Structure 1
């Protein structure tokens, strides 16, 4: 890890330690990319935490470093991540309630070629879903990691890569007018997003899980999903 990230983490610890001392029931999470899914999750988790006596504070934090910071305890967890993040970030504990469903999709320049036959792929470095898929489905080509969806699509349209793996909701939100019909689209697998907390908050997981299930049963989850026009897969 670079010294700059270490300095950044130390700074955040200094900035927010007084908040933690002032209120042990204050939890800090980074702001996710602005999508309907993110807005829904923020609303739902604020509501759920309030039910168990906690306040959620959302801060702007470098998304590229958010998982590392959460794993080190600088952040109190992650609002929504795929289940597999626990494999590489062992200090993050999953709350066993799926927040929303999405698809991991592959856009290819060639219609007939299969995933394993591609010579190059572009993936987004700050979202582990694509990397997790590649680790479980061997790929022998070049993997190019970029910072955002725009860079992925630029590489694809310029034919500098043969394919790119994307989260469908990020693609539709960030580039709603992108001409997907110009490429061959393949759904690699359905996935789900979960809430994670740092292990120091392990004791609140049963309460939080119970509240989320209650909010599901009483229609609150359905209301929030409808509010943000989320599609069930």
Structure 2
């Protein structure tokens, strides 16, 4: 496309507000539906990737079923910044922590019964922290998309073609996983 970009990391809500207002140009990876709450966001229809969330429990736990209904009966924790998890756990006994490592440590220490984290983080914690297990199957998989401020909507057709090519070639996955 020949555009120079700068990736800026901001808290999730602030980032959405800035793109919606036009102060920033785009959002890198959001679930579908962001445009319902932020009307100046336009979704690029070709997805970037899918993100899965897993439930983790202490190795000595008796909780072995991974579904929203099953975990709703227990003390839950998840990292801040995941709007989807805020919505899913709204009526549950849930708390948030600053990062997924804190959630894993809280599970291991028995401060919460179930932690909800990105599956790739969960896999890392099993070997790195120990004393926790990942419940199967994953609790949820979401597809993530690019969003642009409406003033850049004319870029979308070309972005979609580029993303289709990146996805079809497997290059998107390589870039995201850092396997170049």
- TM-score between both structures, scaled by the size of structure 1: 0.60
The residue aligned with 1:111 is: 63
Which is bigger in relative contact order (C-alpha 8 A, separation at least 6)? 2
Write out aligned runs for 1:209-228 (5 A).
Answer: 209-217=160-168, 219=169, 222-223=170-171, 225-226=173-174
What stretches of structure 1 of length at least 5 have no aligned partner?
Answer: 1-50
Q: Count residues in correspondence.
A: 172
User: Comparing both structures, which one devotes a greater share of its residues to helix?
Assistant: 1
Deviations 1:53-87 (A, max 9, x none): 32211235445632333333322121112224334
Tell me how far apart the structure 2 counterparts of residues 184 and 227 of structure 1 sit (CA, whole Å).
26
Contact 1:106 1:165 in 2 (8 A): yes
The residue aligned with 1:207 is: 158
User: Alignment partner of 2:128: what SS?
Assistant: coil
The residue aligned with 2:46 is: 97
Contact 1:106 1:164 in 2 (8 A): yes
Q: Give the counterpart of 2:79 among 124, 127, 133.
A: 124
Considering only aligned residues, what root-mean-square deviation do their CA atoms show, in Å?
3.1
Write out aligned runs for 1:30-49 (5 A).
Answer: none
User: Alignment partner of 1:141: what SS?
Assistant: coil
Q: 1:145 to 1:69 in 2, by over 3 A?
A: farther
The residue aligned with 1:37 is: none
What stretches of structure 2 of length at least 5 have no aligned partner?
Answer: none
The residue aligned with 2:144 is: 193
User: Alignment partner of 1:206: what SS?
Assistant: helix
Tell me how far apart the structure 1 counterparts of residues 20 and 77 of structure 2 sit (CA, whole Å).
26
Contact 1:105 1:189 in 2 (8 A): yes
